[in-house]
Amino acid sequence: MAIRLLPLLSFERLHPRYWPAWSSLLGLRLLALLPYRLLLPVGRLIGRVLYHASPHRRDTARINLQLCFPQMPSPARERLLCGHFESLGIAVCETAMAFFWGDRRLASLAHVEGLDHLRHALARGKGVILLTCHMTHLEVSGHLLALQERISLMYRLHKNPLMDRAIRESRAARAYDTVERSDVRAMIRELKRGHAVWYAPDQNYGGTTQVMFVPFFGVPALTVTTTARLAEMTGASVVPFLPVRRADGSGYDVRVLPALADFPSADLAADTLRINHLIEDAVRASPEQYLWVHRRFKTRPPGQARIY
């Protein structure tokens, strides 16, 4: 179900501080009028503009690629960097699709694989941690799966209340519920209800609890240990969900893999490393689609110099 702009309108939201958010939403609404095959080249153009207009993000992505693909020749890494920004531009268009396209139009782009793995795990009645990672098409891919099977979608609080409401209403329209990413109690509640909860543990969230340094592409990375802890606490299955934007412009492979066997184990560090390795495999399959502009290695082990 698409969101509507008029219900978001109120006297308070006419204040000038909301004008940039209104401009963004109106721009997304206009993009949503285009067919998918036109959105892709428009998105690539947006990405090329972002490449030149965002030097700090470009530098962050370049550093991440150097760390994670040290054997890749420099020209190939630069091509990958440019491809990544084109993917970021397409993500802007995908946000427009997630917000404003109807369910039938959006579902026509989904090429579903392995949905029975999710349904089999849900049949246990103990909930499912739907393990994914931060790909640039994250906004639309979560919606695509929610159209196939009812799941709970997580979200991050947006600094602008108008954009925050738009994001939450968009996700809530196609999900059982929405869960703010830091609300662990709400996630536990959803799992104990037997629901599937979309969960991406591959960012640097800082903090001092439930985190440890484990390698990500061979680089020590502060990583949340919540996946294994939640699975142990609730008995939930961990089912990988690793979507890919098709290179031929025909939509998205909505890939659901079998639930992880023998997870969690008695070794929290090994479990956390296992999750990182699984995400690495997904990233290698379509590296330009991963969110390299995130400062994944911002927090360093004691005594190590800052990277960014």
Residue range 77-134, pLDDT digits in tens: 999 999 999 999 999 999 999 999 999 999 999 999 999 999 999 999 999 999 999 9
Residue 64 CB partners (closer than 8 Å, separation 6+)? 292, 294, 296, 297
On the question of a cis peptide bond just before residue 70, with omega within 30 degrees of 0, the verdict is no
Residue 297 has pLDDT above 90, yes or no: yes
Can you give the pTM of this predicted structure? 0.92
Separation in Å, CA 99 to CA 29, 93, 108:
8, 10, 16
pLDDT band at 49 (very low <50, low <70, confident <90, very high): very high
Q: In angstroms, rounded to a whole number, what is the distance separating the alpha carbons of residues 204 and 291? A: 12
Tokens of 204: 């640097």
DSSP 288: G
pLDDT band at 150 (very low <50, low <70, confident <90, very high): confident
Q: In angstroms, rounded to a whole number, what is the distance separating the alpha carbons of residues 194 and 179? A: 15
Residue 158 has pLDDT above 90, yes or no: no
Q: Residue written as tokens 């008695």?
A: 266
On whether the CB atoms of residues 2 and 104 are closer than 8 A, the answer is no
Ramachandran angles phi, psi of 219, nearest 5° = -110, 130
pLDDT, the chain, mean: 92
Closest CA to 136 of 53, 25, 196, 57: 57
Mean pLDDT of 148-175: 80
Residue-level pLDDT at 172: 77
pLDDT band at 6 (very low <50, low <70, confident <90, very high): low
Mean pLDDT of 165-173: 80
Residue count (the chain)? 308
3-state secondary structure of 140: helix
Residue 257 has pLDDT above 90, yes or no: yes
Residue 1 has pLDDT above 70, yes or no: no
E-assigned strands of 50-188?
Answer: 110-113, 128-131, 153-155, 178-180
Residue 21 has pLDDT above 80, yes or no: yes
Separation in Å, CA 11 to CA 24, 26, 197:
19, 18, 35
Of the listed ranges 44-58, 137-151, 226-240, 279-293, the least confidently predicted one is 137-151
Delimit the domains of the chain by residue range: 13-289
Q: How many CB atoms lie within 10 A of CB 64?
A: 25
pLDDT band at 208 (very low <50, low <70, confident <90, very high): low
